[in-house]
Structure 1
Amino acid sequence: MMDKTGDIMAVICLLLLKLPKGETASGKVLEETYRQWVRYKEDCSKMIENEPLPQADLAGLFCNRTFDKYACWPDAPAGSVVNISCPFYLPWYDKVSQGVVRRRCGSDGVWEREDSGQVWRDMTQCEEEKEVTSQELWVKQLMVSFRMLYTVGYSLSLFTLITALIILLSFRKLHCFRNFIHANLFLSFILRAVSVIVKDTMLERHWGREIIKQTDVTEILSHQAAIGCRIAQVMMQYCVLANHYWFFGEAHYLYSVLIASVLMDNNKYLPYICLGWGIPLLFVVPWVVMKLLKENKECWAVNENMSYWWIIRFPILFASLINFLIFMKVLKVILSKLRASNQAEYPDYKLRLAKATLTLIPLFGIHEVIFIFATDEQTSGFLRYAKVFITLFLNSFQGFLVGVLYCYINKEVQTELRRKLRSWRMEAEIVCCGQ
C-alpha cells in the first residue's frame, strides 16, 4: 500500500515545477488537480486489481503493472519500452492529450531507474509548452507595478494617519465631536491598511511556500492551514466596511451641521459608533456563515457564487451612493449661498469642513458608483486594468488624503501645533538660561 502523504507530495511537487507561479498562488488549480489525480489513482488501482494475469507472450520475465504516482503502467515484457497517454489530471491536458509518457522495462524484468534511484520516465510530451508572449509579459509587469503602487499608498497612508491620530488625541483643545468622527475615520483607515497588508502576506505565505518535506504538502491542503488567511480575509472585509461607514458618518455629520443646522451633543456619540463599527458586523457575519456552509475553500479569496459576495458589496455601494447624493446636495447649497454672498450663516469652520469633505467624497465614493456593474468578473482588457488601477490608487492613497485634509491643513490643528512648538521653545530657553 502506497503512502498517502508520498502520493500527495508527488503531485504537488509536479505542479510546483510545471505550473506558472500565478496559478499555484491562487490554490484553485492546485486543489482541482489533486482531486483529478485521486480519481486517476483510483482508476489505476482498479486496473491493477481487475486486469487478467499476463498471457503467454509475457510468460517470461516482465515488469509488473504499477502506479508510480505520475502514470498508470500495465505489465510489460522485459527489454521493452512502454508508451501510455499523458495523465488526464494534468491542468494542461487539453494541450497534450495526443502525447505519451514512456518507461523502459529492463532485461531483468524490473522497471528502470535513474542513477539516483528515482523512477525513470520520459514525460517531455506531457509537459506544458508555455510561450511567454509580449502581452503576457506586459500584463505581468503591470501587475507587479500595481502591487508596488498600493503598497506605497498604504504605507504612506499608515504613516500619515497614525501621526494625525496621535495629534488629535494629544491636544485637549482638539477634543470635540467633529474631531471624534475624524479620529474614528483615521482609525478605520489604519485598520483597513493593516488588514490588507496582513491579508496579502497570509495569502502569499499560504500558497507561496516551498515544498521541502512531505508534511508541508498536507499542511498546505488542510483546512487548519487556511484558518490564518481566512481570519485575515474576514478582518479585511470588516475593516473595509467600517471604513466606508465611518466616511458615511462624516458625510452625515456635514449634512447635519451645514444644512439641517443640528447641534451635536454627547448623546450623539453612540449612534455614530454603532453606525461605524456596528453595522459592518450585520453584513460580515452572514457572509462568514455563507462561506463556511457553501464556499469553505482555500482562503475565501475566490467568489464562485457572486450572490454571497453581494452580501459585502451591497452595503458598500449603498454607503457610496448615499455619500454621493449628500455630496450633490451640499454642493448645490454651498454654490447657492456663495452666489447670494450670504456666508454669515456659515462659520469659517463649517466652510473648511465642507471643502475637505466635498474634496474627499467624490474620491471615496464616485468610483464605486461608476463601477457598480463593472465587476471583476464582467470586465476584461483595458477596462479591467483601468478599473483595477483606479480602485487600487484611490483605496491605497485615500488615507493619506484624509490625514492631510482633516488634520495637517486644518487651521485649528496648525494653531495648536504652533502653540505647542512655542511652548517647547520657551521651556528650552528657560532651561538654557537656568544653566
Structure 2
Amino acid sequence: QSYFSTIKIIYTVGYSVSITSLTIAVTVLIAFRRLRCPRNYIHVQLFFTFILKAIAIFIKDAVLFQEEGIDHCSFSTTECKISVVFCHYFMMTNFMWLLVEALYLNCLLLSSLSHGRRYFWWLVLFGWGFPTLFTLIWILTKFYFEDTACWDINQDSPYWWLIKGPIIISVGVNFVLFINIIRILLKKLDPRQINFNNSSQYRRLSRSTLLLIPLFGTHYIVFNFLPEYTSLGLRLYLELCIGSFQGFIVAVLYCFLNQEVQTEIGRRWHGKRSGLVPVWRRTRWTVPSSSGVKMTTSVC
C-alpha cells in the first residue's frame, strides 16, 4: 500500500509539472505570430492531448478513490464510467498525435512544403477522429455486452483491444517512422566525413536520436510488449512515473529549447524588431537546433 501511494505521489507531481510546462508552451506558440505555422499547430495539438490526458487521470483518481472504504473493483456509477471513458479516449488521442507528429515530419522530409500543408488537415482529422471512432465502438460494446464495475477492469476483456490494439499499432508505426528519420539523419551527414571511428559523428547522431524518442513515444515499444505477468509494481512505475513527465520533456525540447522560440522571446523582451530578417522565413525545420544536424527540409 505504501509503495502504490508513493507511485501516486510521483505521477501526480509528474503530471502537474507537465500540465504547467505544456500550458506555458501552448501560450508561447499561439501568442507569437511568427510561430504560427502547421508544424507548430501540430505541436500545440499534441501538447493539448498531454494536458487533457493528465486532467482525465486526475479526475478518474478523484472519482474512483473518493472514499477509502469503497472497493473500487466493484464500484459502479455513471460518473466513474464517464471518467474512465475520457481517460481512455485522451490516452488514445495522445498516442495518435504522437503518430501525427511522426507522419508530418516524414512528409516534410520527403516532400515539399506545399505537400506538407496539403496533408495537414487530414492529419488533424485523423488525430481526433480515429480515437473518437474506436472509443465510441468500445463504449457501445461495454454497455451492451460487458457493463460491469466501472469499466476500468480490462485484463481479460476482448473488447479492450478496441483501445489497446490501435495504440500498439500506432507505436509500431511510430517505431518504423523513427527508424526512417534516423536513416535520413544519417544520410544528411556529410558522406565525406562519415567515419564510424569518428566520435563526433556518433555524438551528433545520438543527440538527434535522444531528442526524437520523447516526441515519437518510441519508449512505449518497451511498455506495450512487456509480458502480461511482469510485476505490477514495475509496470506502474514505468508507465505512470516515467510517462507522467513525458509532457514536460516534450515541452522543453520542442518549445523552450527551440531556437525560433528563443529568438522570438528575445525579440519581444528586448524590443529589437527593426533590421531583423523574420526567423520563420529563413529557418529550415529540423529536429531542435541543439541536435547539431542540418537538414534541408521545408520551412515552417
Normalised TM-score (structure 1): 0.55
Is 1:161 matched with 2:22? Answer: yes
Q: Which runs of 5+ in 2 are unaligned?
A: 194-204, 273-300
**Residue 385 of structure 1: how far off its partner (Å):** 2.5
Q: Which runs of 5+ in 1 are unaligned?
A: 1-139, 211-220, 343-350, 425-435
Partner of 1:21: none
Matches of residues 98-109 of structure 1 in structure 2 within 5 Å? none
Partner of 1:379: 229
Partner of 1:334: 185
Residue by residue over 1:261-316, the C-alpha shift from the partner in whole angstroms, topping out at 9 and shown as x without a partner, is: 33246543321111111100121111111111122122211125331111100111
Partner of 2:68: 208
Structure with the higher strand share, 1 or 2: 1
**1:164 counterpart letter in structure 2:** A
1:251 touches 1:357 (CA, 8 Å); kept in 2? Answer: no
Partner of 1:74: none
**2:103 counterpart letter in structure 1:** H
**Distance in 2 separating the partners of 1:171 and 1:187:** 18
Is 1:398 matched with 2:246? Answer: yes
Partner of 1:275: 126
Matches of residues 288-307 of structure 1 in structure 2 within 5 Å? 288-303=139-154, 305-307=156-158
Partner of 1:144: 5
Partner of 1:423: 271
**Distance in 1 separating the partners of 2:80 and 2:56:** 11
Partner of 2:35: 174
Is 1:241 matched with 2:92? Answer: yes
1:324 touches 1:361 (CA, 8 Å); kept in 2? Answer: no
Partner of 1:192: 53
**Structure 1 residue corresponding to 2:163, chosen from 305, 308, 312:** 312
1:153 touches 1:396 (CA, 8 Å); kept in 2? Answer: yes
Structure with the higher helix share, 1 or 2: 2
Number of equivalenced pairs? 257
**Distance in 2 separating the partners of 1:328 and 1:270:** 25
**Distance in 2 separating the partners of 1:181 and 1:413:** 15
**1:255 counterpart letter in structure 2:** N
Residue by residue over 1:177-202, the C-alpha shift from the partner in whole angstroms, topping out at 9 and shown as x without a partner, is: 11011010111111111111111111
Partner of 2:112: 262
Partner of 2:213: 359
Residue by residue over 1:192-236, the C-alpha shift from the partner in whole angstroms, topping out at 9 and shown as x without a partner, is: 11111111111112x5368xxxxxxxxxx896xx11111111111
1:365 is paired with a residue of what secondary structure? coil
After the TM superposition, which segments of 4 or more aligned residues of structure 1 sit over 4 Å from their partners? Answer: 354-357
**Distance in 2 separating the partners of 1:341 and 1:266:** 34
**Distance in 1 separating the partners of 2:16 and 2:119:** 33
The sequence identity of aligned pairs, in percent, is: 34
1:374 is paired with a residue of what secondary structure? coil
- Sort the Cα spacing of 1:358 and 1:404 in 2 relative to 1 into closer, same or farther, 3 A: same
**Distance in 1 separating the partners of 2:170 and 2:21:** 25
